[in-house]
Amino acid sequence: MGGAPSRVHQSSTLGEVPESRATEHATVWRKEGYHDDFTKSPILPDDREDITEYVELLAMLHSPVGQNFLGRFSMEIGTQHVLFAWSDIQEYRAIPTVDYRFTKAKQIFGKYLRASATALDFLPEGLGEEIYNCLDQAREDKNLLGPDLFLQVQKVCFRHIFEFTFQELKNNYARRYEAYQEEGASRFNRIGVNDFWYMEKLGEGAFGKVVHVVKKSTGRHYAMKIQHKTELLRSFARSLSRLDNEKMVFQACNHPFVLQMDYAFQTELHAIIVLNLVTTGNLQDAIDSSPKKRLDEPRARFYAAEIVIALIHLHDMGLMYRDLKPRNVMLGMDGHIQLADMGGVGDCIGDMSARKIRKHGTTVKRRGTLMNFKRRSIMGTKGYMAPEMAKLLNQSNDQRQGYDEAVDWWSLGVTVYKMLTGARPFDPPPWARKQSVVAMLRRQTEFEKLQAEVEYPRYMSEAAVSFVSALLRHDVHERLGSGPNGKEGIKSHAFMAGIVWERLAAKNVEPPYIPTQGPVCDEPLYDSFEEMMEGMHEADARYNKKKRNLNEKVSPDDQKWFATWRYISPQTLRIEMGLAQAMDDIEANFKVMQLTGEGSLSASASATSPHLRALKNTGKAALAMGKLLRLGSNVSGTPSAPSAAVSPR
């Protein structure tokens, strides 16, 4: 998302950022929408007959408002490190795919359970070693890792939060807790159009506008996609259950190589999603700005490997991307890629609405159940379409045999060829510019164009030619990525030699290029959402755009299709809580140790047992140690810096 705005500034100068005061035009997350039966949670300790207070805390930990309140309070009293661990484990439990689950599990182990980590040194003896052994076995079979890998750690963390944060809050800060209860009783969380400054228009699509906005409470820049509910209803009239597909895909992915959706909310007229604003361009920009209008092989390999990780994540969720091309691959400020535009994503099982992509952290896709399902709808960009997709362009519905996720591997082949040469493999060569030849090529169908033999420049390495040609196999059963070896065939190909997949998935590899941030508008063009929408409607009328009643309201019956149009991402929630920077500091320390080898599983293994023998058992002694850490003191009573309980050493 996000083109370069016309007015320039490198950073926001919006001044002091006030707290959000949104009270109207807002989505309110009600407790009923998220409230599970917490009395049955395996997290709850079993040492009390009356578990009312335990359930009270668990409800707080599962609500955005509750987490916000506990996060800010824990930062004040120095117990935030335990809440960090809880938050990371919650995020782990919700990961739907085994590859990314393994990556996240290693991060959690390195941050909180490795030999020199101190933030959770009240854990029972042997627990870290047990988890290490599970991770070691999962190297051979990642399916061994379930969502409950860190359940025992989370239970101990819950007990610590209960004793040293929650009880402290209730007993010594009762008025603040009462104020939270009064606020939390009426709403779960609130986000609305009044929470943003409206900077400028970035673009528009079939359903509405995309605008550059700034969140008032944090000063962060976003791209807001404003969609008219009535337009969505008309476009998805034949399949209303798919109306929220794009939002659901963004919401479920939550992957470092997929553009993040930070918020989703609605007004009476609009369904809105708020995405990360990218001002550093996309792969096509990178190609166009290179001196030779193409990328060198190491850089192309790096981007291709990250695209592979992102596609595998989607495929393992039962999704196919269907529109892979350089313009849809954004380059983040950290030099890593992010897939954008989930509007074309299709599912591999035929019923995305019933699946809802994931629930309770379980993997929804089992490859054996998908082998017979084929999609027949046309999606994608000519020049990047696989032949089995292109063939549908000239077929009626009853003639179509369909396609599966193998179309993404073909598009990857085209994309890698484009990165390495600056052109697509089936584009007409320079000599074909004569009028007669151009006329002939225009008469060819898209499928016929893909029958041409691909020419590879001499400067492409043998491994690169082999990689691209294997991806551009017409027979999907022989195509790299969907053949007998599946995704492992791509990872083990000679072109990918030198890629350390586990570290790359965790972004623990230095990118070959750090892009320059594009200009960012720093002054709002509009005083309010309403003023902006009115101005855009007037501009549409002046330029004779399609006349629509943009103030048309949806009926109460149709409103049911937007009943779940609400979301706040875990990372965004940390930012709102004020915890993001502290958690990022821990993550940064861990990544440094990964690069030096200290944070790896093998490095931790040698020191695991001696360290764990020194850990305290849970109970009063462990809780007393936790309180000492909270107060910023060590065992001997010598004052220590509060960060000692936060940053692993």
What are the tens digits of pLDDT across the range 87-137?
A: 899 989 989 899 999 999 999 999 899 877 777 888 998 999 999 999 999
Round to the nearest angstrom and report the end-to-end CA distance of the chain.
Answer: 38
Amino acid in the structure at residue 226:
I
Q: Does residue 42 lie in a domain region? A: no
Q: Is the pLDDT of residue 470 over 90?
A: yes
Model confidence at 569, in pLDDT bands (50, 70, 90)?
confident
Q: Is the pLDDT of residue 360 over 80?
A: no
Amino acid in the structure at residue 647:
S
Q: Is the pLDDT of residue 313 over 50?
A: yes
Q: Are residues 419 and 302 in the same domain?
A: yes
Q: Are residues 554 and 621 in the same domain?
A: no
Q: Is 323 a catalytic residue?
A: yes
Q: Any idea what the CATH number is for the domain that residue 363 is in?
A: 1.10.510.10
Q: Are residues 77 and 174 in the same domain?
A: yes
Q: Does residue 603 lie in a domain region? A: yes
Q: Does residue 513 lie in a domain region? A: no
Q: Are residues 248 and 269 in the same domain?
A: yes
Bridge partner list, 282: 330
Q: Are residues 163 and 150 in the same domain?
A: yes
The per-residue DSSP string of 179-199 comes to HHHHHHHH-S-EEEGGGEEEE
Q: Which of 99, 244, 323, 522 is catalytic?
A: 323
Q: What is the pLDDT of residue 572?
A: 84
Measured CA to CA, the distance from residue 143 to residue 368 in angstroms comes to 15
Q: Are residues 340 and 373 in the same domain?
A: yes
Q: Are residues 155 and 200 in the same domain?
A: no
CA atoms within 13 A on the CB side of 122: 29
Q: Is 627 annotated as a binding residue?
A: no
Measured CA to CA, the distance from residue 507 to residue 336 in angstroms comes to 8
Q: What is the pLDDT of residue 617?
A: 37
Q: Is the pLDDT of residue 61 over 80?
A: yes
Q: Are residues 597 and 614 in the same domain?
A: yes
Q: Does residue 365 lie in a domain region? A: yes
H or E, element range at 567: strand 567-568
By three-state DSSP, how is residue 292 classified? coil
Q: Does residue 311 lie in a domain region? A: yes
Q: What is the pLDDT of residue 596?
A: 44
Q: What is the pLDDT of residue 582?
A: 63
CA atoms within 13 A on the CB side of 524: 16
- Report whether 310 contacts 337 (CB < 8 A): yes
Highest mean pLDDT among 63-72, 262-271, 352-361, 562-571 belongs to 262-271
Q: Are residues 316 and 329 in the same domain?
A: yes
pTM of the model: 0.80
What are the tens digits of pLDDT across the range 150-178?
A: 999 999 999 999 999 999 999 999 888 88
CA atoms within 13 A on the CB side of 38: 19
Amino acid in the structure at residue 641:
A
Distances (CA, A) of 517 to 2, 307, 355, 509: 12, 21, 38, 20
Model confidence at 3, in pLDDT bands (50, 70, 90)?
very low
Q: What is the pLDDT of residue 588?
A: 57
Q: Does residue 521 lie in a domain region? A: no
CA-based Rg of the chain, rounded to a whole angstrom? 26
Q: What is the pLDDT of residue 368?
A: 41
Of 8-12, 328-332, 422-426, 579-583, the least confident:
8-12
Q: What is the pLDDT of residue 4?
A: 36
- Reported in sequence order, the residue ranges of 169-260 that DSSP labels E, i.e. its strands, are 190-192, 196-204, 208-215, 221-228
Residue with tokens 């002939």: 440
By three-state DSSP, how is residue 461 classified? coil
Q: Are residues 317 and 465 in the same domain?
A: yes
Average pLDDT over residues 259-278: 95
By three-state DSSP, how is residue 263 classified? strand
State how many domains the chain has. 3
Q: Any idea what the CATH number is for the domain that residue 150 is in?
A: 1.10.167.10
Q: What is the pLDDT of residue 631?
A: 30
Q: What is the pLDDT of residue 435?
A: 55
Measured CA to CA, the distance from residue 364 to residue 317 in angstroms comes to 6
Amino acid in the structure at residue 567:
Y
Q: What is the pLDDT of residue 6?
A: 32
Measured CA to CA, the distance from residue 114 to residue 609 in angstroms comes to 10
Model confidence at 15, in pLDDT bands (50, 70, 90)?
very low
φ, ψ of residue 527 to 5 degrees: the values are -80, -20
Bridge partner list, 526: 198
By three-state DSSP, how is residue 379 classified? coil
What are the tens digits of pLDDT across the range 129-153?
A: 999 999 999 998 998 999 999 999 9
Measured CA to CA, the distance from residue 532 to residue 77 in angstroms comes to 43
What are the tens digits of pLDDT across the range 527-543?
A: 999 999 988 877 776 66
Measured CA to CA, the distance from residue 315 to residue 358 in angstroms comes to 13
Q: Is the pLDDT of residue 488 over 70?
A: yes
- Domain coverage including residue 269: 191-278+536-563
Q: What is the pLDDT of residue 13?
A: 30
H helices present in 422-476, as ranges:
435-443, 446-449, 462-471
What are the tens digits of pLDDT across the range 597-639?
A: 555 554 444 443 333 333 333 333 333 333 323 333 332 333 2
